Amino acid sequence: MAELRVVVAGAGGRMGAANIRAVTSLAGLTLHAAIDRAGAPAVGRDAGLYAGIEPLGVEISEDIEAALDGADAIIDFTAPAASVALAQKAGARGLIHVIGTTGLGEADDVAIAAAASGARIVKSGNFSMGVTVLANLVRKAAEALAEYDIEILEMHHSRKVDAPSGTALLLGQAAAEGRDISLRDHSVRVRDGHTGPREKGTIGFATLRGGTVVGEHSVIFAGPSERIEMIHRAEDRAIFAHGAARAALWAQSQPNGLYAMTDVLGL
């Protein structure tokens, strides 16, 4: 099979750099173009040098349409509005679109699902193998421990702009599926002041921010006289970038549609 020609979106960002390193180091992919927000400081810089590796001769560009000409796939860890716009372009051109962006609203999700009629879109709040497997374990534990209270705690670096994290919501969704309830109707995202006792059957979220933490998530099942804690600690952004690259390669042999990382891993 020919090498997959990948456009890395958000090339000037933390994940953009990790994605450039992954795409240029893994077999089966080639860096076709790198793009960033119009006017961003990375625009005009060599994508390799910006990502801390050797020069690649690929300049980070703000011209999205030119970048997509001749491309097969977009790996996109940017911002919600940018990801929706890229999904629509991927749909119009029949591309593969891997979306790692978090903080998407309901309208964004609807627009991305609509774009997937013309594209192969793989979207996940976390592209690591560890979290994808953890979500399956959480679903099973939530079902088996039907009476236990579920709390999800996450900590990320001080530059993160959305909360709860996409991963916390993904794990919450897995727990809700295990309980056969709607996460939207059962989640408690903030506690402050005189809250009263915990409402039975809810899924609580707590958010910590600070320093350079790549990403830590705990799912706590608290029952009578015992507690189970499932913890994932991300140590390097390469785990997300490698998962995204794997998703792009997997999507090559799929029909148009919207997929999750569980589909990629066959879970």
Ligand X SMILES: O=C(O)C1=N[C@H](C(=O)O)C[C@H](O)C1
Ligand Y SMILES: NC(=O)C1=CN([C@@H]2O[C@H](COP(=O)(O)OP(=O)(O)OC[C@H]3O[C@@H](n4cnc5c(N)ncnc54)[C@H](OP(=O)(O)O)[C@@H]3O)[C@@H](O)[C@H]2O)C=CC1
Name the minimum Å distance from CB 8 to ligand Y: 10
Q: Which does 156 bind (CB under 5 to 8 A by kind): ligand Y, ligand X, none?
A: ligand X
Q: Which is nearer to ligand Y, 166 or 178 (CB)?
A: 166
**How many chain residues touch ligand Y (CB under 6 A)?**
26
Q: Which is nearer to ligand Y, 138 or 221 (CB)?
A: 138
Residue 167, interface with ligand X (CB under 6 A)?
A: yes
101 in a known ligand binding site: yes
Is 234 in contact with 240 (CB distance < 8 Å)?
yes
**What is the three-class DSSP state of 191?**
coil
Enumerate residues 6+ apart whose C-beta is below 8 A from 256. Answer: 94, 116, 117, 118, 119, 120
Q: Which is nearer to ligand X, 159 or 200 (CB)?
A: 159
b/e sequence 8-47, b meaning 16+ C-beta within 10 Å: bbbbbbebbbbbbbbbbebeebebbbbbbbeebebbebbb
Among 4, 6, 35, 169, binds ligand Y (CB under 6 A): 35
Residue 162: how many CB atoms within 10 A of its CB?
Answer: 16
Query: Which tokens in the block code for residue 7?
Result: 């456009």
Strand segments (E) across 27-174 = 29-35, 60-61, 73-76, 96-99, 120-123, 149-156
Pairing assessment for the beta strands 257-259 and 4-9 based on DSSP bridges: unpaired
46 in a known ligand binding site: no
User: Which stretch in 11-19, 65-73, 195-203, 217-225 sits in contact with ligand Y by CB under 6 A?
Assistant: 11-19
Enumerate residues 6+ apart whose C-beta is below 8 A from 181. Answer: 201
15 in a known ligand binding site: yes
Residue 61, interface with ligand X (CB under 6 A)?
A: no
- Pairwise CA distance, residues 105 & 33, whole Å: 28
Sheet-wide strand order for 215-223: 187-188, 203-209, 149-156, 215-223, 226-234
Strand partners, 4: 29
- Residues known to be catalytic: 156, 160
Name the minimum Å distance from CB 152 to ligand X: 11
Residue 132, interface with ligand Y (CB under 6 A)?
A: no
Residue 173, interface with ligand X (CB under 6 A)?
A: no
256 in a known ligand binding site: no
Q: Which residue is nearest to ligand Y (CB)?
A: 13
Name the minimum Å distance from CB 182 to ligand Y: 23
**What is the three-class DSSP state of 73?**
strand
Residue 83, interface with ligand X (CB under 6 A)?
A: no
Among 48, 125, 164, 204, binds ligand Y (CB under 6 A): 125
Site residues (CB under 6 A) for ligand Y, limited to 194-213 = none
Among 26, 40, 213, 220, binds ligand Y (CB under 6 A): 40
127 in a known ligand binding site: yes
Site for ligand Y, rule CB under 6 A? 9-10, 12-16, 35-37, 40, 77-79, 82, 100-103, 124-127, 162, 166, 240
Site for ligand X, rule CB under 6 A? 102, 125-126, 156, 160, 165-167, 215, 234
